[in-house]
Amino acid sequence: QQPVQSPQAVILREGEDAVINCSSSKALYSVHWYRQKHGEAPVFLMILLKGGEQKGHDKISASFNEKKQQSSLYLTASQLSYSGTYFCGTEPSTQGGSEKLVFGKGMKLTVNP
Amino acid sequence: GAGVSQSPRYKVAKRGQDVALRCDPISGHVSLFWYQQALGQGPEFLTYFQNEAQLDKSGLPSDRFFAERPEGSVSTLKIQRTQQEDSAVYLCASSTGPYNSPLHFGNGTRLTVT
């Protein structure tokens, strides 16, 4: 039931782009994205609901393909502050709206100057 | 405004001891969650409250784990007779709830059982 995230780790230079993928074996009601820096709390980035919507703010955007049960997070022109571990949290359709999230193992992003 | 506050920040317990971890959610947040995060892993769901009602405790690993939120605000996660496998970071999160709301996480309590 745990979603699979890929890649597991990426190293970028400042200004480069990255894509983080999240796939589930179950039909999904929603996907959440969070970023966690070492020793800190996970911080909310965005929520996507079923319907194939795409959301974004600043240079971070995401898409949700309900049919493929996949979501992707797009980081454009990465900044040093983007470094951290990115988690997707999925909510299966069978419990739509319950807020109980199942998180992937995370993708560690390192942005170097 | 204040975020989610957890205490203690670090806890070392000898195997067999009982521990109590405290979570102060954001004022007015209806929903409260406990997650367990092992090193290098994503958070794993433990239990969920809506106000004082514990709606889901399916993630609690054993009957040694107990959580409460008696007045719908502060919550306590209690672990009895701690085992080494209980060593992890315990994260608390709150949200305005009830649906499709961002989770606001605390910094967690790092529990080490020796």
Closest Cα in chain B, distance from residue A60 (Å): 17
What pLDDT is recorded for position A55? Answer: 67
Closest Cα in chain B, distance from residue A47 (Å): 7
Cβ neighbours for A18, distance < 8 A, ≥ 6 positions apart? A10, A12, A74, A75, A78, A109
What pLDDT is recorded for position A49? Answer: 83
Q: Do B98 and A97 make contact, defined as CB atoms within 8 angstroms?
A: yes
pLDDT in tens, A18-61: 999 999 998 888 899 999 999 899 999 999 987 666 666 678 99
For an interface test with A, the pick among B41, B57, B100, B110 (most A C-beta atoms closer than 10 Å) comes out as B100
Q: How far is CA B14 from CA A78, B19, B83, B84, B113, in A?
A: 44, 10, 8, 9, 5
Contacts of B43 in chain A (CB under 8 A): 42, 87, 89, 103
What pLDDT is recorded for position B19? Answer: 98
Q: Which residues in chain B land under pLDDT 70?
A: 1, 98
The mean pLDDT of A1-18, rounded to a whole number, is: 95
Q: Do B91 and A41 make contact, defined as CB atoms within 8 angstroms?
A: yes
